[in-house]
């Protein structure tokens, strides 16, 4: 059984609530340009974020930064009831910058992971989420301001949770299961060695597991094949180098593990929709707007992040 309780949206924000009572695992790769806030009302879920799997219990918030690989899967019970909010960088980044308290990017960078709420905070967060839902549904005068206010209160509550490590990446939530533990180990290894990791066979040999087993469980947990995961790590590093370094395209190709510039450019364009050179030029425009006249209006950065799956929110 799958029930979409509601789906609402406004400029820069999409919110939905979905109840499922069957074994649901996200089947497709999932990485995009939006921030995510996930709240589990009932049930349990396994939640993979970048290179770590969490056991998410009811009454837990999950924050996912932009451009991070993430995936949800069935845990002990198939039944679950969850709320998902996706935020675009704008207009919310501008709003939070004006508060002079925290930027949206800083919040998600430091809070990506799982926050387990006590009873009082759980009641408070659920009231805020229902308030946001009603604002979006009714669209009364000033509803956008009300959404901003409730969303600010939600983030503030998470910031004040008494947890010593705000990244939560090594908290007690980490899910202990042989399959998930092995995938986490492999994902961590790839993240640290993406420039030299070259094949599924090499990884299987390194971790003393069969090639077929690694291929199957890695896709089950992450939604990505091993090859897709490696290329995603490489392309994200290439983007950073294009933005922040003076290395030329050939040097960046080698730095990120590609043997030829031609193949690097092919993979880069597949992931981002534009060539490495155009990507660099677009970021030069961003850094030096006075030079923007040098470039064509067609040199527009795509809204989607690498490997944006295009999934509906209710598929998460």
The tens place of each residue's pLDDT in the chain, 316 residues long, gives 788 999 999 999 999 999 988 766 565 666 778 999 999 999 998 888 888 888 899 999 999 998 888 888 877 778 999 999 999 999 998 888 887 778 898 999 888 889 989 999 999 999 999 999 999 999 999 999 999 999 999 999 998 885 433 333 344 455 567 888 899 999 999 999 999 997 899 999 999 999 999 999 999 888 889 999 999 999 999 999 999 999 999 999 999 999 999 999 999 999 889 999 999 998 886 554 444 333 333 333 344 444 444 455 556 6
List, in order, residues 6 or more apart from 254 with CB less than 8 Å away: none
Query: In this predicted structure, what is the pLDDT of residue 240?
Result: 92
Q: Is 52 helix (H, G, I), strand (E, B) or coil?
A: strand
Query: In this predicted structure, what is the pLDDT of residue 26?
Result: 62
Q: Which fold has domain 178-294?
A: Arc Repressor Mutant, subunit A (1.10.10)
Query: In this predicted structure, what is the pLDDT of residue 296?
Result: 36
Query: In this predicted structure, what is the pLDDT of residue 186?
Result: 94
Helix orientation angle between 89-99 and 104-111, rounded to the nearest 10 degrees: 100
pTM of this prediction? 0.76
Domain residue extents for the chain? 2-175, 178-294
Query: In this predicted structure, what is the pLDDT of residue 258?
Result: 94
Helix orientation angle between 178-193 and 226-244, rounded to the nearest 10 degrees: 40
Angle at 30 between CA 112 and CA 283, to 5 degrees: 75
Burial classification of residue 86, based on how many CB atoms lie within 10 Å of its CB (0-12 exposed, 13-18 middle, 19 or more buried): buried
Query: In this predicted structure, what is the pLDDT of residue 77?
Result: 77
**Distance between CA atoms of residues 262 and 161, nearest Å:** 49
**Distance between CA atoms of residues 246 and 47, nearest Å:** 37
For residue 58, the Cα-to-chain-centroid distance in whole angstroms is 20
Query: In this predicted structure, what is the pLDDT of residue 234?
Result: 94
Residue 191 Cα distances to 62, 95, 96, 157, 188, angstroms: 22, 33, 31, 31, 5
The C-alpha R_g of the chain, in whole angstroms, comes to: 20
Query: In this predicted structure, what is the pLDDT of residue 179?
Result: 85
Same CATH topology for 2-175 and 178-294?
A: no
Domain 2-175 has CATH 2.60.120.280: yes
Query: In this predicted structure, what is the pLDDT of residue 300?
Result: 39
């Amino acid at each position: 059984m799958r029930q979409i309780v509601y789906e609402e949206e406004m400029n820069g924000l999409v919110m939905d609530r979905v109840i499922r009572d069957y074994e649901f695992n996200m089947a497709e790769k999932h990485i995009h340009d939006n921030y995510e806030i996930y709240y589990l009302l009932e049930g349990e879920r396994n939640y993979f974020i970048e290179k770590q799997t969490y056991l998410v219990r009811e009454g837990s918030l999950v924050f996912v930064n932009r451009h991070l690989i993430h995936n949800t899967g069935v845990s002990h019970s198939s039944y679950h009831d969850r709320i998902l909010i996706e935020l675009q960088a704008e207009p919310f980044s501008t709003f939070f910058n004006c508060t002079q308290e925290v930027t949206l990017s800083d919040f998600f960078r430091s809070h990506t992971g799982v926050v387990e709420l006590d009873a009082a905070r759980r009641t408070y967060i659920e009231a805020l989420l229902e308030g946001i839902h009603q604002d979006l549904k009714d669209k009364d005068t000033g509803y956008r301001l009300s959404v901003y206010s409730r969303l600010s209160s939600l983030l503030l509550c998470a910031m004040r949770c008494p947890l010593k490590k705000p990244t939560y990446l090594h908290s007690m939530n980490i899910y202990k299961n042989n399959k998930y533990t092995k995938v986490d180990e492999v994902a961590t290894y790839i993240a640290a060695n993406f420039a030299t990791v070259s094949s599924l066979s090499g990884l299987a040999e390194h971790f003393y597991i069969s090639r077929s087993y690694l291929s199957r469980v890695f896709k089950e947990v992450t939604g990505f094949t091993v090859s897709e995961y490696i290329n995603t790590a490489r392309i994200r590093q290439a983007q950073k180098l294009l933005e922040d370094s003076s290395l030329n395209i050939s040097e960046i190709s080698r730095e990120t593990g590609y043997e030829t510039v031609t193949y690097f450019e092919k993979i880069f364009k597949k992931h981002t929709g534009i060539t490495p050179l155009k990507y660099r030029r677009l970021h030069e425009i961003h850094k030096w707007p006075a030079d923007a006249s040098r470039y064509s209006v067609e040199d527009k950065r795509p809204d989607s992040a690498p490997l944006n799956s295009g999934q509906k929110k209710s598929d998460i």
